[in-house]
Structure 1
């Protein structure tokens, strides 16, 4: 089963650059289900889906924002998930049904918790009652605007009451918070002395973990939001290397024609009289090696830039940790 979920507080989906960032994320990660929070959209149309890169073979459910606050959007592949029911709330979208290749009745919950501390007790009570009233295999993802322990926040004071409420919520729902790979925090203040917090996560029921042993929760590189997207993935079978592709732009790069000429002559020298098939194989090998050296892929360059940003942010977090330890 192609089991892949993404959750992201996108901080507004109405602008072109936000749609482009979501589209790039979907093309790269190819999720079966994507949960977006804080869309800040009061209305929704198929134009938004097309801007995200979805043209057909998908379905969606939308909760409008109130003014410019909130807003939720869940999108999934129709061949992955068959719906039996839905429930819409200001703070969550619940979708019930079955995933392809899974006999469990599932509930997919897209959550956006309140910012103000006064609203959080009622939010967790309501969410707890809702989850415990449905006997399904839960996948709960989103921005809870809460964290579980002191280690999940750097900078400013911790709110211990909300931490206790969140931990009690996990105990009473028996949901599992998987370790997050790739980083510790999902939100930063982006200030000179930054605050880092883990506000976003997936919570999984034990029944699903018993059926899918290789589930991983992964922090994805930061993009146009102050929140990182997170992914929930099940390790899949590797089908080997991708097929060889020759792109037109390669033909225009200086040195490409010389590479082909030298490659053909090299194959002839090594093999004497040789057929066209062996020449093509030799040229293909040389092009693949050359393209890696030249770093021709724009996607590779983007990935390298995102990785460098993540590295710098981790270094910054370590600096803040050292500074805080020095103060203590």
Structure 2
């Protein structure tokens, strides 16, 4: 769903209508709220320039003299107007999304996912304010669209906030065709733990910040040890597979599938080597910044080693 709000500073001339139309086409908007139209009524030709290729509906508020003026425009194939209320400086619109219609008429496996900012029951929020009035319409949408709420297997919530607040507002909805095609699909969350909230440092602000950063650094080091970089292991696997296929190639011709696999493995090996090399280069720069400016002996020692490694003592040509 793509929605935009734009202060047009006048929608009475043709150029402004074309600009709004280009904005709608560029971002494929389904709803646009325009402020400061500065006209008593936005004409039908101007609205047609804003929404060129789809059927639309709109609601307006007249401008007061040469200031103000509002217009909201939406695609009728995405939204259906239920009710509206407009005053001098605002418009309130209640629209019904056509997601239900899309879900019911979709002929292939379908997956809706994202932050819906709503929950199906109060149990999906902990120490968080709950909009009870939104629970029933949200469940009504799920049932009418014949969607399946895919449950998490490794946690109850997808978001963690300060003061131990938890919520499951990120959801994945599937249709029956999807679950029939992939019946063993599982849903996991990888939202990080709020380590900062676990540090009970007491003191003035600068001291707390310094202490918590040191604790966070120690935790990150422990995490990096427990979760080593998989690039090295992947590189070793690629090298072993390449060695195996090359041995087979020396004994007999490889099949077309094996040749493609060998080419892909060599490409993967090259990517992994570049990744490891860039990481090692980054580590060396970190050491240089950490020790180079503070330790002149270290700085000159590294320079001397580089100079010695590039030194040519002599050349041998035809055993001479």
TM-score normalized by the length of structure 1: 0.31
Structure number with higher helix proportion: 2
TM-score normalized by the length of structure 2: 0.32
Structure number with higher strand proportion: 1
Q: Which has the larger radius of gyration?
A: 2
